[in-house]
């Protein structure tokens, strides 16, 4: 078995590994990684998104991120873990089953070399942050009740099946898709869902004629910095062990983030004469999202190429989405996370090559065949997510409505939806 095939089996899916003795080092690293990934959502993503919206909507974003953390956690407990990682029997290619209320997860159960409870919690944090990322696509205009209902349905119908396809032993795993930490499961999923939601719900009132700059870039940079730190748990934690693969994943994650930041900043500096803090932190997120699927498979040189490419491609994707197509994906979820996830998933099939510093292809695979597998994974995820998201938005519209009333949107969601103010000066 080649190193690549070994990684596909053992990294990120320890339930398929042979029984092993509990390892305290691996367990400690996964406990730490779990805390880091949750730190990405609360407070990282909440502050990052909160600073990007207008001051009259800052609390609405914070409560959406916080509430989704709570809701997704309980859904994971009620059966989400089983649907994503359980054995689905005859339907296992598409969805898992079992573990309702984590009934099969005992105190002494192990998953590879770590307690299964730790694996459950680690994967729960991925299920938390993915719906929270979508918030950026409909920020400042969706009803809070609609956010909760849509996100609940979306986790069940979209996230859990795709997670099973890729990491739970489903059909994409059987094909040999390389997605170490969430290029398809997290970033393509969230990006496609965000742009579909933005199209269905419509642009914010006044967009694009009225300028809607971030109200607090200090908050945004603080949140972005937390995302950078937390992402080490996201990617290096997906090795599910404290080993060489985790070390390399951490290294390449950092390299790609730095390269993406500088590439985005450099383009802005060249085009507009001045570098912006918003640009450098957005480039960082692009670099992190793009390296995510490849982080366990590539080397530092590959990470440098991926990061630079991410900063450039995601910058122009953002301009195309907002300036040319006039789609109000408010916080650029699709051009940064969606495009980055697509790009990173495809480039994983290139830079995994041993000649380019990666761990090498599985037995019988070539760059061409691996790229085809990567493309199938991207297309399948995007199509399933796009169609299902549209249908779920229509269901949500019929049940509670999607958009706040025009006067409430003008007033701001902080007062209109929550009767509170973010700032009292």
Using one digit for the tens of pLDDT, what is the confidence trace for 39-48? 999 999 999 9
Q: What is the model's pLDDT at position 425? A: 79
Q: Quick check: pTM over 0.85?
A: yes
What is the rounded distance in angstroms from the CA atom of residue 43 to the CA atom of residue 108?
Answer: 32
How would DSSP label each residue in 320-369?
IIIIIS----TT-HIIIIIHHHHHHHHHHHHHTSGGGTS--PPTT--HHH
For 30, phi and psi rounded to 5 degrees?
Answer: -70, -35
What is the rounded distance in angstroms from the CA atom of residue 342 to the CA atom of residue 347?
Answer: 9
Using one digit for the tens of pLDDT, what is the confidence trace for 282-297? 999 999 999 999 999 9
Report the pLDDT averaged over residues 91-106: 96
Return the sign of the alpha-carbon dihedral for residues 389, 133, 298, 287. positive
Using one digit for the tens of pLDDT, what is the confidence trace for 135-183? 999 999 999 999 999 999 999 999 999 999 999 999 999 999 999 999 9
Q: Is the pLDDT of residue 15 over 50?
A: no
Q: Is the pLDDT of residue 18 over 70?
A: no
- Read off the pLDDT band of 264 (50, 70, 90): very high
- Average predicted confidence (pLDDT) for the chain: 95
Q: What is the model's pLDDT at position 20? A: 62
Calculate what percentage of the chain has a pLDDT beyond 70. Answer: 95
Using one digit for the tens of pLDDT, what is the confidence trace for 77-96? 999 999 999 999 999 999 99
Q: Is the pLDDT of residue 17 over 50?
A: no
Calculate what percentage of the chain has a pLDDT beyond 90. Answer: 94
What is the enclosing helix (H) or strand (E) of 174? helix 171-175
Q: Name residues whose C-beta falls within 8 Å of residue 276's C-beta, 6 or more positions apart in sequence.
A: 265, 268
Q: Is the pLDDT of residue 14 over 70?
A: no
Q: What is the model's pLDDT at position 21? A: 87
The residues pairing with 115 across neighbouring beta strands, listed in sequence order, are: 110
Rg of the chain taking only CA atoms, in angstroms: 20
What is the rounded distance in angstroms from the CA atom of residue 247 to the CA atom of residue 266?
Answer: 29
Mapped onto helix, strand or coil, the DSSP state of residue 248 is: helix
Q: Indicate the CATH number of 20-409 among 1.10.10.60, 3.40.50.740, 1.10.3430.10, 1.10.287.1120.
A: 1.10.3430.10
- Read off the pLDDT band of 5 (50, 70, 90): very low
């Amino acid at each position: 078995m080649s190193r690549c095939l070994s990684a596909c089996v053992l990294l990120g899916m320890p339930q398929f590994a042979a029984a092993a003795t509990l390892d305290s080092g691996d367990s400690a690293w996964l406990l730490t990684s779990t805390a880091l990934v949750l730190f990405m959502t609360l407070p990282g993503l909440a502050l990052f998104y909160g600073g990007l919206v207008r001051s009259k909507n800052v609390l609405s974003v914070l409560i959406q991120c916080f509430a989704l953390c709570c809701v997704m956690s309980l859904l994971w407990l009620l059966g989400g873990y089983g649907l994503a990682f359980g054995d689905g029997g005859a339907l296992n290619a598409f969805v898992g089953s079992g573990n309702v209320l984590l009934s099969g997860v005992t105190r002494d159960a192990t998953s590879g070399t770590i307690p299964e409870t730790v694996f459950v919690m680690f994967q729960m944090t991925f299920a938390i942050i993915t719906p929270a990322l979508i918030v950026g696509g409909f920020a400042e205009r969706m009803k809070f009740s609609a956010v909760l209902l849509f996100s609940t349905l979306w986790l069940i119908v979209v996230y859990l099946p795709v997670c099973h396809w890729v990491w739970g032993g489903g059909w994409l795993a059987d094909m040999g898709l390389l997605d170490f930490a969430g290029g398809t499961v997290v970033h393509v999923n969230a990006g496609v869902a965000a742009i579909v939601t933005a199209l269905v719900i419509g642009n914010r009132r006044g967009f694009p004629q009225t300028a809607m700059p971030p109200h607090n870039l200090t908050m945004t940079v603080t949140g972005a910095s937390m995302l950078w730190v937390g992402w080490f748990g996201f990617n290096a934690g997906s090795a599910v062990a404290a080993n060489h693969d985790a070390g390399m994943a951490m290294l390449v994650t950092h390299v790609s983030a730095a390269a993406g930041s500088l590439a985005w900043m450099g383009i802005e500096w060249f085009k507009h004469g001045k570098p912006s803090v918003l640009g450098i932190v957005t480039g960082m997120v692009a670099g992190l999202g793009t390296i995510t699927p490849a982080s366990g498979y590539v080397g530092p040189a590959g990470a440098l190429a991926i990061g630079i490419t991410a900063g450039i491609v995601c910058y122009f994707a953002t301009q195309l989405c907002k300036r040319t197509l006039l789609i109000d994906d408010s916080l650029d979820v699709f051009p940064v996370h969606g495009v980055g996830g697509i790009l990173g998933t495809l480039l994983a099939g290139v830079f995994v090559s041993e000649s380019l510093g990666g761990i090498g292809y599985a037995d019988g695979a070539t760059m061409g065949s691996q790229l085809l597998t990567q493309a199938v994974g991207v297309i399948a995820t995007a199509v399933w997510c796009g169609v299902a998201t549209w249908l779920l938005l229509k269901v949500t519209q019929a049940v509670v409505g999607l958009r706040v009333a025009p006067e409430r949107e003008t007033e701001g969601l902080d007062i209109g939806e929550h009767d509170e103010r973010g700032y009292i000066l």
